[in-house]
Chain A
Protein backbone atom coordinates (compact mmCIF):
# COMPACT_ATOMS: atom_id res chain seq x y z
CA UNK A 1 0.00 0.00 0.00
CA UNK A 2 1.87 3.07 -1.08
CA UNK A 3 -0.89 5.66 -0.82
CA UNK A 4 -0.32 6.27 2.92
CA UNK A 5 3.40 6.90 2.41
CA UNK A 6 2.64 9.26 -0.44
CA UNK A 7 0.06 11.26 1.51
CA UNK A 8 2.40 11.57 4.51
CA UNK A 9 5.01 12.91 2.10
CA UNK A 10 2.52 15.41 0.65
CA UNK A 11 1.62 16.60 4.16
CA UNK A 12 5.32 17.21 4.89
CA UNK A 13 5.68 19.20 1.69
CA UNK A 14 2.66 21.37 2.57
CA UNK A 15 3.94 21.96 6.11
CA UNK A 16 7.29 23.07 4.71
CA UNK A 17 5.54 25.38 2.30
CA UNK A 18 3.35 26.82 5.07
CA UNK A 19 6.36 27.53 7.29
CA UNK A 20 8.27 29.24 4.51
CA UNK A 21 5.28 31.40 3.64
CA UNK A 22 4.21 32.10 7.24
CA UNK A 23 0.79 30.55 6.79
CA UNK A 24 -0.96 29.85 10.08
CA UNK A 25 -4.03 27.95 9.06
CA UNK A 26 -4.89 25.71 6.15
CA UNK A 27 -8.45 25.02 5.18
CA UNK A 28 -8.28 22.89 2.08
CA UNK A 29 -5.86 20.90 -0.07
CA UNK A 30 -6.42 20.37 -3.78
CA UNK A 31 -4.64 17.53 -5.61
CA UNK A 32 -4.62 16.79 -9.32
CA UNK A 33 -4.49 13.12 -10.24
CA UNK A 34 -4.19 11.93 -13.82
CA UNK A 35 -6.47 9.14 -14.97
CA UNK A 36 -3.39 7.13 -15.94
CA UNK A 37 -1.14 7.87 -12.96
CA UNK A 38 -0.51 4.83 -10.77
CA UNK A 39 -2.44 6.39 -7.90
CA UNK A 40 -5.97 5.43 -6.87
CA UNK A 41 -7.96 8.54 -5.78
CA UNK A 42 -10.22 6.49 -3.52
CA UNK A 43 -7.23 5.12 -1.58
CA UNK A 44 -5.85 8.64 -1.18
CA UNK A 45 -9.17 9.75 0.29
CA UNK A 46 -9.27 6.72 2.59
CA UNK A 47 -5.82 7.26 4.10
CA UNK A 48 -6.05 11.07 4.24
CA UNK A 49 -7.52 11.35 7.78
CA UNK A 50 -4.80 9.04 9.11
CA UNK A 51 -2.01 10.93 7.38
CA UNK A 52 -3.07 14.39 8.56
CA UNK A 53 -3.67 13.46 12.18
CA UNK A 54 -1.76 15.83 14.49
CA UNK A 55 -0.36 17.85 11.62
CA UNK A 56 -1.17 21.34 10.36
CA UNK A 57 -3.59 19.70 7.94
CA UNK A 58 -5.60 17.96 10.63
CA UNK A 59 -8.85 19.85 10.00
CA UNK A 60 -8.53 20.36 6.27
CA UNK A 61 -10.77 19.09 3.53
CA UNK A 62 -9.29 17.25 0.59
CA UNK A 63 -10.38 17.86 -2.98
CA UNK A 64 -9.18 15.64 -5.81
CA UNK A 65 -9.42 16.77 -9.41
CA UNK A 66 -9.20 13.91 -11.86
CA UNK A 67 -7.32 14.84 -15.02
CA UNK A 68 -8.64 12.89 -18.02
CA UNK A 69 -6.12 11.36 -20.39
CA UNK A 70 -5.45 13.11 -23.70
CA UNK A 71 -3.70 11.63 -26.66
CA UNK A 72 -2.13 13.61 -29.50
CA UNK A 73 -1.67 12.24 -33.00
CA UNK A 74 1.70 13.52 -34.13
CA UNK A 75 0.77 12.96 -37.78
CA UNK A 76 -2.40 15.03 -38.09
CA UNK A 77 -2.36 16.87 -34.72
CA UNK A 78 -5.76 15.59 -33.65
CA UNK A 79 -6.22 15.40 -29.88
CA UNK A 80 -8.56 12.77 -28.49
CA UNK A 81 -9.59 11.29 -25.13
CA UNK A 82 -10.20 7.66 -25.83
CA UNK A 83 -7.05 5.93 -24.65
CA UNK A 84 -8.36 2.53 -25.64
CA UNK A 85 -7.87 3.56 -29.26
CA UNK A 86 -4.72 2.01 -30.66
CA UNK A 87 -4.67 4.46 -33.57
CA UNK A 88 -5.79 7.97 -34.43
CA UNK A 89 -9.59 8.17 -34.94
CA UNK A 90 -9.08 10.70 -37.74
CA UNK A 91 -6.14 9.46 -39.84
CA UNK A 92 -5.60 5.95 -38.36
CA UNK A 93 -1.97 6.91 -37.62
CA UNK A 94 0.03 5.12 -34.92
CA UNK A 95 2.32 8.00 -34.07
CA UNK A 96 0.56 8.77 -30.79
CA UNK A 97 1.73 10.62 -27.72
CA UNK A 98 0.13 10.84 -24.30
CA UNK A 99 -0.02 14.56 -23.47
CA UNK A 100 -2.11 14.49 -20.30
CA UNK A 101 -3.31 11.99 -17.74
CA UNK A 102 -0.17 10.89 -15.89
CA UNK A 103 0.16 13.87 -13.57
CA UNK A 104 0.11 13.77 -9.81
CA UNK A 105 0.29 17.35 -8.54
CA UNK A 106 -0.32 19.40 -5.44
CA UNK A 107 -2.43 22.00 -7.20
CA UNK A 108 -3.27 24.52 -4.51
CA UNK A 109 -4.19 25.11 -0.90
CA UNK A 110 -6.71 27.44 0.67
CA UNK A 111 -5.07 29.10 3.65
CA UNK A 112 -4.32 32.24 5.59
Chain B
Protein backbone atom coordinates (compact mmCIF):
# COMPACT_ATOMS: atom_id res chain seq x y z
CA UNK B 1 0.00 0.00 0.00
CA UNK B 2 2.79 2.46 0.81
CA UNK B 3 4.03 2.08 -2.73
CA UNK B 4 0.98 3.90 -4.04
CA UNK B 5 1.52 7.54 -4.74
CA UNK B 6 -0.61 10.41 -5.91
CA UNK B 7 0.52 11.68 -9.28
CA UNK B 8 -0.58 15.18 -10.26
CA UNK B 9 -1.63 15.39 -13.88
CA UNK B 10 -3.58 18.67 -14.04
CA UNK B 11 -4.31 18.32 -17.70
CA UNK B 12 -7.32 19.72 -19.46
CA UNK B 13 -9.46 16.88 -20.80
CA UNK B 14 -9.69 18.66 -24.14
CA UNK B 15 -5.90 19.01 -24.41
CA UNK B 16 -5.50 15.90 -26.55
CA UNK B 17 -8.17 17.09 -28.97
CA UNK B 18 -6.52 20.52 -29.08
CA UNK B 19 -3.25 18.86 -30.16
CA UNK B 20 -5.06 16.98 -32.95
CA UNK B 21 -6.76 20.22 -33.99
CA UNK B 22 -3.40 21.98 -34.26
CA UNK B 23 -2.25 19.20 -36.63
CA UNK B 24 -5.33 19.64 -38.81
CA UNK B 25 -4.66 23.38 -38.97
CA UNK B 26 -1.04 22.81 -39.90
CA UNK B 27 -1.97 20.42 -42.69
CA UNK B 28 -4.72 22.57 -44.19
CA UNK B 29 -2.41 25.58 -44.02
CA UNK B 30 0.24 23.68 -45.99
CA UNK B 31 -2.26 22.48 -48.56
CA UNK B 32 -3.89 25.92 -48.88
CA UNK B 33 -7.25 24.50 -47.93
CA UNK B 34 -9.60 26.73 -45.92
CA UNK B 35 -11.73 24.70 -43.51
CA UNK B 36 -15.01 26.16 -42.26
CA UNK B 37 -16.77 24.48 -39.34
CA UNK B 38 -20.51 25.18 -39.61
CA UNK B 39 -22.61 24.55 -36.52
CA UNK B 40 -26.25 24.99 -35.51
CA UNK B 41 -29.25 23.27 -33.98
CA UNK B 42 -30.95 20.68 -36.21
CA UNK B 43 -33.06 22.33 -38.90
CA UNK B 44 -31.57 25.83 -38.67
CA UNK B 45 -30.71 25.69 -42.34
CA UNK B 46 -27.09 24.51 -42.60
CA UNK B 47 -27.67 22.45 -45.74
CA UNK B 48 -29.87 25.06 -47.41
CA UNK B 49 -27.33 27.80 -46.63
CA UNK B 50 -24.54 25.61 -48.02
CA UNK B 51 -26.39 25.09 -51.29
CA UNK B 52 -26.81 28.88 -51.62
CA UNK B 53 -23.18 29.44 -50.72
CA UNK B 54 -21.81 26.85 -53.15
CA UNK B 55 -23.94 28.18 -55.98
CA UNK B 56 -22.51 31.68 -55.52
CA UNK B 57 -18.90 30.68 -54.89
CA UNK B 58 -18.21 27.69 -57.11
CA UNK B 59 -17.00 29.84 -60.00
CA UNK B 60 -14.18 31.24 -57.88
CA UNK B 61 -13.35 28.39 -55.51
CA UNK B 62 -13.06 24.61 -55.64
CA UNK B 63 -15.37 23.43 -52.87
CA UNK B 64 -15.69 20.22 -50.85
CA UNK B 65 -18.26 19.38 -48.18
CA UNK B 66 -18.02 16.98 -45.25
CA UNK B 67 -21.50 16.01 -44.05
CA UNK B 68 -21.62 14.87 -40.45
CA UNK B 69 -25.13 15.74 -39.40
CA UNK B 70 -27.17 12.79 -38.21
CA UNK B 71 -29.49 11.33 -40.82
CA UNK B 72 -27.96 13.41 -43.52
CA UNK B 73 -27.46 10.99 -46.41
CA UNK B 74 -30.23 13.17 -47.74
CA UNK B 75 -28.09 16.26 -47.18
CA UNK B 76 -25.11 14.73 -49.01
CA UNK B 77 -27.45 14.04 -51.89
CA UNK B 78 -28.80 17.58 -51.93
CA UNK B 79 -25.29 19.02 -51.85
CA UNK B 80 -23.94 16.75 -54.58
CA UNK B 81 -26.51 18.23 -56.98
CA UNK B 82 -24.64 21.55 -56.79
CA UNK B 83 -21.58 19.87 -58.28
CA UNK B 84 -19.48 20.23 -55.13
CA UNK B 85 -17.42 17.29 -53.95
CA UNK B 86 -19.15 15.75 -50.94
CA UNK B 87 -18.67 12.90 -48.51
CA UNK B 88 -20.85 11.56 -45.75
CA UNK B 89 -19.25 10.86 -42.37
CA UNK B 90 -20.91 8.26 -40.21
CA UNK B 91 -20.56 9.59 -36.71
CA UNK B 92 -22.42 6.72 -35.04
CA UNK B 93 -24.76 8.90 -33.02
CA UNK B 94 -21.98 11.10 -31.65
CA UNK B 95 -23.22 14.54 -30.75
CA UNK B 96 -20.18 16.42 -32.03
CA UNK B 97 -17.18 16.06 -34.32
CA UNK B 98 -13.71 16.08 -32.82
CA UNK B 99 -10.44 16.88 -34.52
CA UNK B 100 -9.47 13.30 -35.30
CA UNK B 101 -12.82 12.57 -36.97
CA UNK B 102 -12.39 15.78 -38.94
CA UNK B 103 -8.93 14.68 -39.98
CA UNK B 104 -10.30 11.36 -41.24
CA UNK B 105 -13.02 13.25 -43.09
CA UNK B 106 -10.44 15.44 -44.81
CA UNK B 107 -8.45 12.36 -45.86
CA UNK B 108 -11.52 10.63 -47.26
CA UNK B 109 -12.58 13.75 -49.16
CA UNK B 110 -9.06 14.10 -50.61
CA UNK B 111 -8.67 17.81 -50.12
CA UNK B 112 -5.67 18.39 -52.35
CA UNK B 113 -6.61 21.01 -54.93
CA UNK B 114 -9.65 22.26 -53.01
CA UNK B 115 -9.80 25.89 -51.80
CA UNK B 116 -12.70 25.59 -49.38
CA UNK B 117 -13.94 22.68 -47.31
CA UNK B 118 -17.05 23.05 -45.18
CA UNK B 119 -17.80 20.73 -42.32
CA UNK B 120 -21.53 20.47 -41.64
CA UNK B 121 -21.23 19.61 -37.95
CA UNK B 122 -23.78 17.59 -35.98
CA UNK B 123 -26.89 19.63 -35.15
CA UNK B 124 -26.22 20.69 -31.57
CA UNK B 125 -25.33 23.99 -29.89
CA UNK B 126 -23.61 22.50 -26.84
CA UNK B 127 -20.97 19.82 -27.48
CA UNK B 128 -19.43 21.11 -30.73
CA UNK B 129 -18.50 24.30 -28.87
CA UNK B 130 -16.08 22.35 -26.66
CA UNK B 131 -14.33 20.44 -29.43
CA UNK B 132 -11.96 22.33 -31.70
CA UNK B 133 -12.14 20.60 -35.10
CA UNK B 134 -9.04 22.35 -36.39
CA UNK B 135 -11.12 24.58 -38.66
CA UNK B 136 -9.64 27.80 -40.05
CA UNK B 137 -12.83 29.62 -39.00
CA UNK B 138 -15.98 28.69 -37.11
CA UNK B 139 -19.48 29.80 -37.98
CA UNK B 140 -22.90 29.12 -36.51
CA UNK B 141 -26.44 29.55 -37.72
CA UNK B 142 -29.28 30.71 -35.51
CA UNK B 143 -32.65 30.65 -37.22
CA UNK B 144 -35.56 32.95 -36.44
CA UNK B 145 -37.98 30.24 -35.19
CA UNK B 146 -35.47 29.18 -32.53
CA UNK B 147 -35.89 32.42 -30.60
CA UNK B 148 -33.74 35.41 -29.73
CA UNK B 149 -32.75 34.13 -26.28
CA UNK B 150 -30.29 31.52 -27.62
CA UNK B 151 -27.15 33.60 -26.89
CA UNK B 152 -28.19 33.61 -23.23
CA UNK B 153 -28.74 29.85 -23.21
CA UNK B 154 -25.68 28.78 -25.21
CA UNK B 155 -23.04 31.44 -24.43
CA UNK B 156 -20.06 29.19 -25.17
CA UNK B 157 -21.07 28.63 -28.79
CA UNK B 158 -21.52 32.36 -29.37
CA UNK B 159 -18.13 33.00 -27.77
CA UNK B 160 -16.11 30.65 -29.96
CA UNK B 161 -17.50 31.43 -33.43
CA UNK B 162 -16.08 33.98 -35.87
CA UNK B 163 -19.38 34.47 -37.68
CA UNK B 164 -23.05 34.25 -36.79
CA UNK B 165 -25.59 33.72 -39.55
CA UNK B 166 -29.14 34.64 -38.59
CA UNK B 167 -31.21 32.54 -41.00
CA UNK B 168 -34.88 32.49 -42.05
CA UNK B 169 -35.32 36.27 -41.86
CA UNK B 170 -38.13 35.80 -44.42
CA UNK B 171 -40.10 34.45 -41.44
CA UNK B 172 -39.49 37.44 -39.14
CA UNK B 173 -43.10 38.58 -39.38
CA UNK B 174 -44.39 35.34 -37.93
CA UNK B 175 -42.13 35.09 -34.92
CA UNK B 176 -41.44 37.20 -31.89
CA UNK B 177 -37.74 37.52 -32.72
CA UNK B 178 -35.79 40.67 -31.96
CA UNK B 179 -32.82 40.78 -34.34
CA UNK B 180 -31.25 43.79 -32.65
CA UNK B 181 -31.42 42.05 -29.26
CA UNK B 182 -29.62 39.01 -30.72
CA UNK B 183 -26.91 41.22 -32.21
CA UNK B 184 -26.44 42.98 -28.90
CA UNK B 185 -26.34 39.74 -26.88
CA UNK B 186 -23.91 38.11 -29.31
CA UNK B 187 -21.61 41.16 -29.33
CA UNK B 188 -21.61 41.26 -25.53
CA UNK B 189 -20.30 37.67 -25.50
CA UNK B 190 -17.96 38.12 -28.44
CA UNK B 191 -17.11 41.68 -29.54
CA UNK B 192 -15.39 40.51 -32.77
CA UNK B 193 -18.26 38.36 -34.05
CA UNK B 194 -19.42 39.05 -37.63
CA UNK B 195 -23.19 38.89 -38.04
CA UNK B 196 -25.06 38.08 -41.28
CA UNK B 197 -28.87 38.13 -41.35
CA UNK B 198 -29.94 35.99 -44.32
CA UNK B 199 -32.74 34.00 -45.85
CA UNK B 200 -31.41 30.81 -47.37
CA UNK B 201 -34.84 30.45 -48.96
CA UNK B 202 -35.01 33.76 -50.84
CA UNK B 203 -31.25 34.40 -51.00
CA UNK B 204 -31.52 37.74 -49.21
CA UNK B 205 -28.30 38.67 -47.44
CA UNK B 206 -26.43 35.58 -48.64
CA UNK B 207 -24.03 37.56 -50.84
CA UNK B 208 -22.64 39.53 -47.87
CA UNK B 209 -21.90 36.24 -46.13
CA UNK B 210 -20.20 34.86 -49.26
CA UNK B 211 -18.11 38.03 -49.63
CA UNK B 212 -16.88 37.70 -46.05
CA UNK B 213 -16.13 34.00 -46.52
CA UNK B 214 -14.30 34.65 -49.79
CA UNK B 215 -12.12 37.20 -48.05
CA UNK B 216 -11.27 34.74 -45.26
CA UNK B 217 -10.33 32.05 -47.79
CA UNK B 218 -8.03 34.41 -49.68
CA UNK B 219 -6.34 35.56 -46.48
CA UNK B 220 -5.84 31.95 -45.32
CA UNK B 221 -4.54 30.79 -48.67
CA UNK B 222 -2.21 33.76 -48.87
CA UNK B 223 -3.59 35.02 -52.18
Chain A interface residues toward B at CB < 8 A: 1-2, 5-6, 9-10, 12-14, 17, 21, 23, 27, 31, 38, 103-112
Contact = CB atoms under 8 A, between A and B. Distances in A.
A104 B12 contact: yes
Interface of B: 3-17, 93-96, 98, 126-127, 129-130, 156
A107 B13 contact: no
- Residues of B contacting A: mostly: mixed
27 contacts: A1-B93, A5-B98, A6-B13, A9-B13, A9-B16, A13-B11, A13-B13, A13-B16, A21-B7, A27-B4, A38-B126, A38-B127, A38-B130, A103-B12, A104-B14, A105-B9, A105-B12, A106-B9, A106-B10, A106-B12, A108-B7, A109-B9, A110-B4, A110-B5, A110-B7, A111-B5, A112-B3
A84 to B, nearest CB: 13
Nearest to B3: A112
Nearest to A21: B7
B7 A111 contact: yes
Nearest to A37: B130
Interface centre among B13, B95, B129 (most CB of A within 10 A): B13
Contacts of A38: 126-127, 129-130, 156
B5 to A, nearest CB: 7
A81 B180 CA distance: 31
Please provide the 8 A-B residue pairs with the shortest distance between their CB atoms, ordered closest to farther.
A112-B3, A104-B13, A106-B9, A2-B127, A2-B95, A106-B11, A108-B8, A112-B4
Contacts of B14: 104
Contacts, number: 64
Nearest to A27: B4
A106 to B, nearest CB: 5
A23 B7 CA distance: 10
A98 to B, nearest CB: 10
Contacts of A106: 9-13
Contacts of B93: 1
Given A13-B15, A14-B9, A106-B9, 18 more contacts: A1-B93, A1-B95, A2-B94, A31-B13, A38-B129, A38-B130, A103-B12, A104-B13, A105-B11, A105-B13, A106-B11, A107-B8, A107-B9, A108-B6, A109-B9, A110-B4, A110-B5, A110-B6
B96 A2 contact: yes
A109 B10 CA distance: 10
Nearest to B128: A2
A19 B71 CA distance: 39
Contacts of B130: 38
B109 to A, nearest CB: 22
Nearest to A13: B16
Nearest to A112: B3
